[in-house]
Structure 1
Amino acid sequence: MSAHRGTSPWFHNFRPAPQAPLRLVCLPHAGGSAGFYFPAACALSPRVEVLAVQYPGRQDRRREPAVTDLRVLAERIAQALGPWTDKPYALFGHSMGAVVAFEAAHRLQAAGRKPARLFVSGRRAPSLDGAAPSSPPRTDEEIVAEIRRLNGTGDALLDDEETLRMILPALRADYDAVRRYRYRPGPLLHCPVTAFTGDHDPRAGTHEVRAWHTHTASGFDLNVLPGGHFFLADRPEPVLRTLWRHLRRAAAPAVAS
């Protein structure tokens, strides 16, 4: 019997699917929120129950201090996820979320609750961070310029001063966390890793994303799709098809039993 889950501020369950044989836990990018994964929840339910992670310091958690250490963030998410690991589950993270998902996967694996698969998107392998050609932006001006370059938020939102004041604190905290993060070599993951990147992503080149294969002792596959850093928002269908193909296989033992 699973532990009582109750209501957790960490997860938004936009389309509850308690009968689904598998869960997908989705972690957003820097400055992102759980709502980024609302379309995925709608598309995958009721076959898969999608839990979208809501980091502190934004939207309904805006009164909470943001977490500026990605390892601490991963630890808290792994702890909160415990009651939801009563059935097979996978992790999906985009950009910063890929690193947090990776760190959370290690913690869950150490606790004997490893995910069925780790999906990483729009992020070079953590082991390459020391060789990164450029560091994350520091000032508010640099952050806004970076978001414009990556096309993560519509220009109309960035041009609105009130909206900008609302989203900048979370962006600033997340970029600070990304800048501070340093990969620490450790045990390999025992789950397969599937990686996605856009063929014009300035932050995650194909060869950099392919290096995720060095972080797992299980299978690996790379999917290069048309688009930039936010190819996932622009063309979600190929990503969703790949997700479902892998998730269906992961759920097969649970369905059979």
Structure 2
Amino acid sequence: MTSAPLTLLCLPNAGGSAAMYHRWKRLLPDWLTVLPMELPGRGHLGSQPLVSDYDAMVTQLASDYLALPPGRYALFGHSMGGLLAYGLAQRLSLSVAGRAPCALLVSASAAPTCRNPVVGDLRDGALIAEMRKQGGTPEEAFASEELMQMVLPVMRADYQVCASFQHDARRQPLALPLHVFAGRSDHNTPQQMAAWHHETQASFSLHWFDGGHFYLRDAPQEALLMHTIERLLHTNRIERTGAAIVLAGQEMV
């Protein structure tokens, strides 16, 4: 059975850009339109000033989305992008009638209630050390002073975005399915990833992949992720199913 058309809005990790999702347009089926969302200060928005505050970033993203034609959509975010996708889902669900996403997909991002402290030292050396720890950046990139001069201001602003995030315990959990993806070797613990289930009143699932924080840059794991996203976003897969929780393929109520 063919699924109804759906747009997947994708948000990048700290220091990243919309370009990381361009190849997904070829990997996902025609009924699923991949729409990478660019952040200020990079890509085609390179002339815009960087944003270093979480609420301000979510406000701008919400404005960018509302400028698009209305339609059925889901949100995907990797690392910092997952935190932004969560805030965007909250903003659009609570304040804009009829414009809530049909699902939220979060990758390699600890749950809002149990996030690790963001690195406090934002000088160049500390940021480079953190980038090496996270992985995902080719070692030769660190040897290019010109490239680092471009990347480090973006990383610094993005880390400030993450540091400025504050979880509001008074907010009601989202009324939409929430699917979480994680690398088995990532620094985020299983407990930090599973805690996302507190953020939804609808169905929840947690899916594990081989690899670390950037597991999705490995071709076999990326293919598995694409298959999983396609399956989850199929019309019959995103119906609200109460408070059932799916962890590692086993349903828990």
Q: Report matched runs for 1:128-207 at 5 Å.
A: 128-129=114-115, 132=116, 134-136=117-119, 137-185=121-169, 186-202=171-187, 204-207=188-191
Aligned-pair distance for 1:82? 1.9
Aligned match of 1:28: 12
Aligned-pair distance for 1:59? 2.9
Q: Which amino acid aligns with 2:164?
A: R
2:48 counterpart SS class: coil
CA contact (8 A) 2:18 2:43 kept: no
Residues in 2 aligned to 1:244 and 1:196: alpha-carbon distance in whole angstroms: 14
Counterparts in 2 of 1:85 and 1:251: CA distance versus 1, 3 Å: farther
CA contact (8 A) 1:71 1:100 kept: no
1:34-85 deviations in Å (ceiling 9; x for gaps): 0011121221152211110110112332221111111211121112212546
Residues in 2 aligned to 1:144 and 1:189: alpha-carbon distance in whole angstroms: 36
1:64-119 deviations in Å (ceiling 9; x for gaps): 11111112111211122125462211000010011110000011101122111100
Q: Report matched runs for 1:29-178 at 5 Å.
A: 29-84=13-68, 86-110=70-94, 111-112=96-97, 113-129=99-115, 132=116, 134-136=117-119, 137-178=121-162
Does residue 240 of structure 1 match 2:226? yes
Aligned-pair distance for 1:146? 1.1
Residues in 1 aligned to 2:86 and 2:236: alpha-carbon distance in whole angstroms: 18
Please give the TM-score of this superposition, normalised by the length of structure 2: 0.86
Residues in 1 aligned to 2:150 and 2:222: alpha-carbon distance in whole angstroms: 27
Which moves more between the two structures, 229-238 or 76-85? 76-85
* Structure 1 runs not aligned, ≥5 long: 1-18
> Residue 194 of structure 2: which of 205, 210, 229 is its match?
210
* Structure 2 runs not aligned, ≥5 long: 240-253
Aligned match of 2:235: 249
1:197 counterpart SS class: strand
1:214-239 deviations in Å (ceiling 9; x for gaps): 00000000001110000011221111
CA contact (8 A) 2:232 2:238 kept: no
Q: Which amino acid aligns with 2:149?
A: R
How many residue pairs get matched? 231
Residues in 2 aligned to 1:239 and 1:249: alpha-carbon distance in whole angstroms: 18
Residues in 2 aligned to 1:154 and 1:103: alpha-carbon distance in whole angstroms: 30
Aligned match of 1:9: none
Aligned-residue identity in percent? 34
2:75 counterpart SS class: strand
1:171-202 deviations in Å (ceiling 9; x for gaps): 11101111222211211101110001101101
2:71 counterpart SS class: coil
Aligned match of 1:4: none
Q: Would you tell me which structure has more helix in proportion to its own residues?
A: 1
Residues in 1 aligned to 2:127 and 2:49: alpha-carbon distance in whole angstroms: 19
